[in-house]
């Protein structure tokens, strides 16, 4: 790959990380909002169970807690992906390492994660021009 293409793909991966961060942010917010909705359903089910002895309350509080945990995890990952994208955009050396790790993990998301992650591993790990963009910032 030549120097201009490497720069283009480095910028493209930065934008991709920002898009993923936005999707994770949206998913986290939706899960947190969904947990509030599930908690309100659970409250109604518990009050119905108190008035009707034969009615068994569903395990909604556990589901709401799980939604909250996953939602908070997605929000934390969104922040991480945003800063990795920013680091890649600014050619920070640590962002190259983080992108390599995330790309290795992304290999297991068949089929798109495998293609995108595999190319990112090549770009950030083996391509001489892709690596050269990050060596500049490692000296600073």
The answer to whether the beta carbons of residues 85 and 130 sit under 8 Å apart is: no
Q: Tens place of pLDDT for every residue, the chain, 140 residues?
A: 777 777 788 888 889 889 989 999 999 999 888 887 877 776 777 676 667 766 666 655 667 788 889 999 999 999 999 999 998 888 888 888 888 888 888 888 778 778 788 788 887 778 777 777 777 655 54
Residue 139 tokens, joined: 């000296």
Q: What is the pTM of this model?
A: 0.76
Domain ranges of the chain: 3-139
Total residues belonging to the chain: 140
Burial annotation 92-123 (CB, 10 A radius, 16+ → b, else e): bbebbebbbebbeebeeeeeebeebbeebbeb
Please report, for residues 15, 30, 54, 139, the alpha-carbon distance to residue 48 in angstroms, rounded to integers and kept in the order given: 49, 27, 10, 66
């Amino acid at each position: 790959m030549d120097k201009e293409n490497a720069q283009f793909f480095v910028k493209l991966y930065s934008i991709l990380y920002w898009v993923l961060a936005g999707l994770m942010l949206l998913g986290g917010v939706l899960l947190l909002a969904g947990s509030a909705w599930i908690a309100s359903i659970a409250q109604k089910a518990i009050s119905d169970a108190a008035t009707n002895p034969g009615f068994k309350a569903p395990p909604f509080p556990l589901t709401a807690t799980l939604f909250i945990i996953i939602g908070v995890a997605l929000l934390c990952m969104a922040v991480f992906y945003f800063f990795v994208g920013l680091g890649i955009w600014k050619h920070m050396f640590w962002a190259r390492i983080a992108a390599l790790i995330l790309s290795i993990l992304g290999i297991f998301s068949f089929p798109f994660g495998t293609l995108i992650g595999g190319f990112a591993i090549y770009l950030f790990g083996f391509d001489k021009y892709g690596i050269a963009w990050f060596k500049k910032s490692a000296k600073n």
